[in-house]
Amino acid sequence: MDNGVLFKTFGIYKSFGPTQALINVDFELRRGNVCGLIGENGSGKSTLSSIIAGILKPDKGRMYFKEKEYSPQSMLDARKSGIGIIVQEAGTLSHLTVAENIFVGDLKRFEKLGFVNEKQMYKEAEAILHKIGVDDIDPAASVDSLNFEDRKIVEIARAMYTNPEILIVDESTTALAQKGRKIIYNLIKSLQNENKAVIFISHDLDEVMYICNTVTVLRDGVKIQTLSRDEMSVDKMKKLMVGRELTNNYYRADYDGTFGEKVVLKANRITSEDGLIMNLNLELHEGEILGIGGLANCGMHELGKILFGASRPVTGEVIHTPSNTVLKKPHVAIRKGIGYLSKDRDHESIIINASIQENIALPLLDRLKKLGLLSGKKEKEIVSQQIGALSIKCISGKQFCTQLSGGNKQKVAFAKWLARQCDIFIIDCPTRGIDIGVKAAIYSMIYELKKEGKSIIMISEELPELIGMSDRILIMKNGAIAAEIPRSKNVNDSMLIEYMI
C-alpha cells in the first residue's frame, strides 16, 4: 500500500483581529491515516481544519494536496478537489428536501436543458445515503421533518457525495448519539481501507485513542508535536495539550472546601423544556463555588439559563432564598443581585456592536439615576473603575467591543456584573476560547469573589477547571445529578468522567 504524503501545509498563519489563531503551522497527512487533531479550546484546531476545507483563507502559508499546490477559494472548491468536511454547527437549510440539502450549491450537475432532473437527484441522494449506511431517511422528505440526529446525517452525506480523498470530521461526534457515531466510525474505516485519509477533531481523548493512528497536538495556535500510534496515550496527549504553564498556582491553591450555611439560591424539581433536565434539585450556599459538569448534551447550559430565569422550566421553580422570590425573568434575577455569563459570549453575553461603556452600564442603568435622569458622569466613573480593576485592554470605554480579543470581551461581560455588585454569579464556560493570561486572571477573580462571601455557580466543559476551582462539583447525567463531589486533593479527571458516562 502507498503510504505517501497526501496533504501538507507549510507555515500557515492566521489571525482574527488581535488574536493569533495559527502561527507557522506545518501539518502533514499520509494516505491511509486517520490523524487526530487535538488541543484546548482556542488552540486553533478548528481554524486549521477550516482553512484546509476552504472555509477560511490563511493569511500566509502554502498547502499541497496530492503534490500540487492547493488554495481553495470556497468550501465547494475544496470539495471538488477532494476534501470534504463535516462541521460542528453548520446546520441544514430548512424548507428544503433532504436531497436538495445534500446537493446544495451543486445542482448544475443534474441540469438537463436547463431543468433540474429531480428523479436523478433523488436517486443519487438515496445512493449516497445508502453508501454511508442509512436507509431510513427519505431523500424527498423535508429536512424540517427530521430530528437533530438525522439532520446531522444529511450533513455527512453532503460532505461525502463527491467521494472525498480527505474527510475532515470537526467535533461532529460530540453532538451525535449512537446511530450517528456508528455511521461516522464506519465511514472512517472504509476511507482508511480505500487508502484515503481522515482528519479527526475531538475533545474526547478516549475516542481519539480508539479512532486515530496518529495525532497532532496544537496549543495556542502552535503545532506542538505529532505522535505516532505507539507514542499515543491519553496522559501524554493531555500533557501536550495543556503545556507547562498549567501548574497548580493557576487555580486556587487551598483544598479547604468550606462555605457558608445559608442557602442563597434553590432549584426545586426543575424540568427543562428540551427534556434534558428532569426533576433536578440544587442548592447554592453563601461563599460557595459550585461547579457543574457533564457531557455536551447533559443540559448543564440550559440549567444555567433556568437558574437565571432566562428559560422557563416546565416543572418546578427557582427561588432566591434570602428574599424568597421565584425567579421567572432575567430582570427579576438581576434585581436580586444575580449575574449570568452565557457560554455564547459574542451572541448572548455582550453586544458586539456597542461600546465597552454601553455594555458595562446596561444592567446598571437603574442605579445611575440622578434626579430621575441618567448621569453620564457617574456612568463614566463606574466604567473606568471596572476597566482599571479588570485591566481591560482598550483605548477608552468608548471603544467598540468588535475590536477586542476574546479574553477582553469576557472581561467586559464580567465587568457588567461586578459593577452591579452582584451576590450570585452564574457563569457558563467562563474561560472558553480565552488565552492563558486572562484565564488565570478570571480564576483569581472568581476566588476573590468567593472570599468576599459571594456565591458562584460555574458550569464548565473543562474538567481541570472544575476540579481546580470548585468547593463542590455536581456531575450531571441523564437529566439528573449523577454525583456530588466535595473539594479534595484526590479528585481527578477520570473519576469525573466515570460519573459522566
Partner 1 sequence: MEAKRDITHNVKTNFKLRLDKISRNNMELRQALPFVGLLFIFLFFLIATRGRLVAASNLSNLIEQCFTITLVAVGASFIYACGLFDISIGAVMALSELSIAYLMKTGDTPIILIILIAIGTAVFCTIITSIITSVLKVNVFVSSLCMMFICNGIVTAAVSEADIYISFQDYKSANSPLLKAIVLIVMVGVGWVIFNKTRLGRDLKALGGNETAAALSGVRKVKTYILAFVCLGVCIGIAGFFSLIRVSMLSSSTGGGLGLNIFVAIVLGGFPLTGGSQSRMISAIVGALTLTLLQNGLSIMSMDPSWTHFIQGILFLIIVGLSYDRSKGKFIL
Partner 2 sequence: MKKLKVNLLKMLKTILLPVIVYLVLLIATGGRFGKPSSLLMVFRLSVIPIMIAYAIGMNMTIGMWDFSVGGIIYASAILGGTLSHKTGTGVWGMFIFIVGIAILFSTLNGILYKLMKIPSLVLTTGMLMVYEALPRVIGIKEVKISISDGVLAQMPWCYIILFVMFALFYVVYNKTSLGYNVKATGANQIIASNAGIDIEKVKFQSFLFGGVFAGLAAVLLLSNNTTIRPIASMGSIHLLFDAMMGVFIAFFLSSSCNFAVGIVIGTVSMQMLTSGLVAMGLDTNARSIASGLFLLILLIISSNQGSFAKMVRRKQLAKEANLKYTEG
Contacts with partner 1 by CB under 8 A lie at 59-60, 308, 310, 329-331, 334-335, 340, 342, 347-355, 358, 361-363, 365-366, 372-374, 400, 416
141 binds partner 2 (CB under 8 A): no
* The one-letter amino acid at 36: G
Closer CB to partner 2, 104 or 253, in the complex: 104
CA 177 vs CA 150, 180, 386, 399: distances in Å: 10, 6, 44, 44
16 binds partner 2 (CB under 8 A): no
Closer CB to partner 2, 67 or 484, in the complex: 484
303, 459 Cβ separation under 8 angstroms: yes
Residue 354 contacts which entry, partner 2, partner 1, none (Cβ below 5-8 A, type-dependent): partner 1
93 binds partner 2 (CB under 8 A): yes
Closer CB to partner 2, 84 or 221, in the complex: 84
Residue 28 contacts which entry, partner 1, partner 2, none (Cβ below 5-8 A, type-dependent): none
431, 457 Cβ separation under 8 angstroms: no
Residue 314 contacts which entry, partner 2, partner 1, none (Cβ below 5-8 A, type-dependent): partner 2
Closer CB to partner 2, 148 or 210, in the complex: 148
116 binds partner 2 (CB under 8 A): yes
100 binds partner 2 (CB under 8 A): yes
Pairing type for strands 166-170 and 83-86 reads parallel
Instruction: Candidates 26, 107, 206, 260: give the one binding partner 2 (CB under 8 A).
Output: 107
Contacts of residue 111, defined as CB under 8 A and 6 or more positions apart, other chains included, come to: 117
106 binds partner 2 (CB under 8 A): yes
Closer CB to partner 1, 37 or 361, in the complex: 361
Residue 315 contacts which entry, partner 1, partner 2, none (Cβ below 5-8 A, type-dependent): partner 2
Residue 271 contacts which entry, partner 2, partner 1, none (Cβ below 5-8 A, type-dependent): partner 2
Closer CB to partner 2, 265 or 277, in the complex: 277
**Distance of alpha carbon 423 from alpha carbon 401, whole angstroms:** 26
Residue with cell string 457558608: 260
Pairing type for strands 263-271 and 315-320 reads antiparallel
Q: Which stretch binds partner 2 (CB under 8 A): 23-31, 98-106, 320-328, 464-472?
A: 98-106
Instruction: Candidates 3, 60, 62, 74: give the one binding partner 2 (CB under 8 A).
Output: 74
Q: Closest distance between partner 2 and the C-beta of residue 359, in Å?
A: 25
Residues 299-358 that bind partner 2 (CB under 8 A): 314-315
Closer CB to partner 2, 142 or 214, in the complex: 142
Residue 329 contacts which entry, partner 1, partner 2, none (Cβ below 5-8 A, type-dependent): partner 1
Q: What are phi and psi of 219, to 5 degrees?
A: -145, 125
Residue 291 contacts which entry, partner 2, partner 1, none (Cβ below 5-8 A, type-dependent): none
Residue 191 contacts which entry, partner 1, partner 2, none (Cβ below 5-8 A, type-dependent): none
C-alpha cell at 133: 449506511
Residue 17 is given by DSSP the state T
Residue 275 contacts which entry, partner 2, partner 1, none (Cβ below 5-8 A, type-dependent): partner 2
Q: Closest distance between partner 2 and the C-beta of residue 95, in Å?
A: 6
Residue 111 contacts which entry, partner 2, partner 1, none (Cβ below 5-8 A, type-dependent): partner 2
Pairing type for strands 19-30 and 197-201 reads unpaired
Pairing type for strands 19-30 and 34-38 reads unpaired
Q: Quick one: which of 79, 6, 88, 80 has its CA closest to 47?
A: 88
Residue 130 contacts which entry, partner 2, partner 1, none (Cβ below 5-8 A, type-dependent): none
Closer CB to partner 2, 74 or 258, in the complex: 74
Pairing type for strands 373-374 and 369-370 reads antiparallel
175 binds partner 2 (CB under 8 A): no
CA 42 vs CA 219, 246, 352, 484: distances in Å: 8, 15, 19, 29
Closer CB to partner 1, 60 or 229, in the complex: 60
151 binds partner 2 (CB under 8 A): no
Closer CB to partner 1, 232 or 310, in the complex: 310
How many beta carbons lie within 10 A of that of residue 122, not counting itself?
18
Three-point CA angle 54, 154, 213, nearest 5°: 60
Query: How distant is the alpha carbon of residue 465 from its chain centre?
Result: 15
Q: What is the DSSP string of 185-211?
A: HHHHHHHHHTT-EEEEE-S-HHHHHHH
Closer CB to partner 1, 243 or 330, in the complex: 330
Q: For every residue of 346-381, which 3-state class applies, written as one string?
A: HHHHCCCCCEHHHHHHHHHHHHCEECCEECHHHHHH
Interface characters, 239-278, with partner 2 (x: CB under 8 A): ------------------------------x-x-x-x--x
173: left (phi over 0), alpha (psi -120 to 50) or beta: alpha
Cite the DSSP H helix spans in 363-476: 376-389, 406-419, 436-451, 463-469
**Distance of alpha carbon 191 from alpha carbon 206, whole angstroms:** 21
| Contact footprint for partner 2 (CB under 8 A) | 55, 74-77, 79, 90-96, 100, 104-108, 110-111, 114-116, 118, 158, 269, 271, 273, 275, 278-279, 314-315
